[in-house]
A and B are shown apart, each in its own frame.
Chain A
Amino acid sequence: MIKMTGTISFIEYSVKETGRTADTVREFIRNTFGIDAYVALYPDLLRIRLTSGIPSKEIDKLTKWVEEELDGSLLRSY
Chain B
Amino acid sequence: MGILEGVEPEYVRKQLDKLSNLNTTLTDVRDTISGGKSLSDIYTQLDVALSTRASESTLSGIKTQTDKLTFDANNYLYVNVATGSLSVGNFPTWFTSSTKLTDDLYDKLNALSNALGSIATDKFRVGIVDALPAGSNWIGSVKIGDGTSSVGVISGTLGGNSVTLLGTAPDLIKMLAGGTNYEEAELSVTTTETNTTYSPALKFALITNIGDDDVLIRFNGSSATQKKIPAHTWKFVMFPISSLYYVASTSSSTLRVEGVW
Contact = CB atoms under 8 A, between A and B. Distances in A.
A45 B194 CA distance: 13
A38 interface: yes
B157 A2 contact: yes
Given A2-B171, A5-B162, A51-B170, A40 B155 contact: no
A25 B198 CA distance: 10
Given A5-B155, A5-B162, A30-B152, A38 B197 contact: no
B60 interface: no
Interface string B151-185: 11111111000100101111111000000010101
Contacts of B243: 21
Given A4-B156, A5-B157, A35-B154, A41 B196 contact: yes
Interface residues of B, number: 33
A42 B187 contact: yes
| A interface, size bucket | 20 to 34
Interface string B18-53: 000000000000000000000000000000000000
A34 B196 contact: no
Q: Taking chain A's interface residues, is the majority helix, strand, or loop, or is none over half, making it mixed?
A: mixed
A30 B150 contact: yes
Nearest to A51: B154
A39 B152 CA distance: 14
A75 interface: no
B200 interface: yes
Nearest to A42: B196
A5 B169 CA distance: 17
B17 to A, nearest CB: 133
A33 to B, nearest CB: 8
A26 B195 CA distance: 17
A40 B198 CA distance: 5
Interface in A21-77: 21-23, 25-27, 29-31, 34-36, 38-43, 45, 47, 49, 51-52
Contact of A6 (B151, B154, B168, B185): B154
B155 A2 contact: no
Contact of B155 (A6, A17, A30, A43): A6
Given A2-B158, A35-B153, A42-B196, A51 B183 contact: no
Given A2-B172, A41-B198, 20 more contacts: A2-B158, A2-B171, A4-B157, A4-B173, A5-B162, A6-B156, A17-B194, A21-B199, A22-B199, A23-B197, A23-B199, A23-B242, A26-B199, A30-B151, A30-B152, A36-B152, A38-B199, A40-B183, A40-B197, A47-B185
Interface of B: 149-158, 162, 165, 167-173, 181, 183, 185, 187, 194-200, 242-243, 261
Question: 6 smallest A-B Cβ distances: which pairs?
Answer: A22-B199, A36-B152, A22-B197, A26-B199, A3-B157, A30-B152
22 contacts: A1-B173, A2-B171, A2-B173, A3-B156, A5-B155, A5-B156, A22-B199, A22-B242, A23-B199, A23-B242, A26-B200, A30-B151, A35-B152, A35-B154, A36-B167, A39-B199, A40-B196, A40-B198, A41-B197, A43-B194, A45-B185, A51-B152
